[in-house]
Amino acid sequence: MNELRISLVQAGIFWEDKNRNIEHYGNLLKGLSGKSDLAVLPEMFSTGFSMEASHLAETNEGTTVQTIHSWAKEYQLAVYGSFLAKDDSNRIFNRGFFIDPDGNEWFYDKRHLFRMGMEQKRFVAGNHRLTVPYKGWNIRLIICYDLRFPVWIRNRKNEYDVLVCSANWPAVRTNVWQTLLVARALENQCYVCGVNRIGEDGQQIKHQGESVLIDFKGNRMLESVLNEESVITGILRKSPLDDFRKKFPAWMDADEFEII
């Protein structure tokens, strides 16, 4: 498939109020039915970035994931974001989900836990990179703080076409957010989608959104309005990306390495 319609769902998050958040984001997705292929939500969309909400964690078979399955099927689009997850041993994860309209599901546990927010004291870090094949595109999933670590994200031999980042990125570091998203697009010769929340969280940390879609040359294709709830959709095209990689094959000179 040459085109991929991708929607940036930028909204606030009700602090540790899972039911209210699920209802709100479900309503936002209704308008995308038949108009998008992939909707991207902010990090920990159903609870907010809380380190004290382990009582709200669910397994992959819980209500949150099952609700996302119903959204994907009803609105005929894939949904990506992250939620507060636990395994059978009650270990806690900041877990990314990618669920498509056919019921296929993929899960990615955030690799780089945000030390300054004590995330590493509450959650277990992931150790597997994940690229999802969807509609003829290869999509790499990351979560917020992962964006700072280019080795983890390195696009070896064009193994992915789109890098998607679900985030709770504070307004005070907005310049870092903007800069790193462009850098990841340029160095990996790929499209980049970053979706961030808005509003103040339960720790009085402010977020202003700045969700954005960037092309493989570092150009902003689409960007949300600061501090406003919005659902905006852009179209990615595969052939220009393929042509650019052939015309300017910097990826062929990339250093080989292994992550251990």
Strands 38-40 and 3-10: parallel
Compute how many other C-beta atoms are within 10 angstroms of the C-beta atom of residue 154.
18
Catalytic residue check, 190: no
Rounded to whole angstroms, how far apart are CA atoms 34 and 19?
A: 25
What's the Cα-to-Cα distance from 18 to each of 21, 146, 161, rounded to whole Å?
5, 24, 32
Q: How is residue 119 written in tokens? A: 């995330």
Alpha helices in the chain (DSSP H): 18-30, 63-75, 119-122, 150-153, 174-188, 238-247
Catalytic residue check, 58: no
* Helix, strand, coil % in the chain, rounded to nearest 5: 30, 30, 40
What's the Cα-to-Cα distance from 57 to each of 18, 48, 165, 177, 226, rounded to whole Å?
10, 12, 21, 27, 30
DSSP string, 92-109: EEEEEEEE-TTS-EEEEE
- What is the residue whose two structure tokens read 């509450």? 122
- Which of 18, 110, 165, 223 is flagged as catalytic? 110
Coil, helix or strand for 254?
coil
Catalytic residue check, 110: yes
- Which of 16, 43, 119, 210 is flagged as catalytic? 43
Q: Do the beta carbons of residue 123 and residue 92 sit within 8 Å?
A: yes
- Which of 144, 165, 190, 193 is flagged as catalytic? 144
Active-site residues: which are they? 43, 110, 144
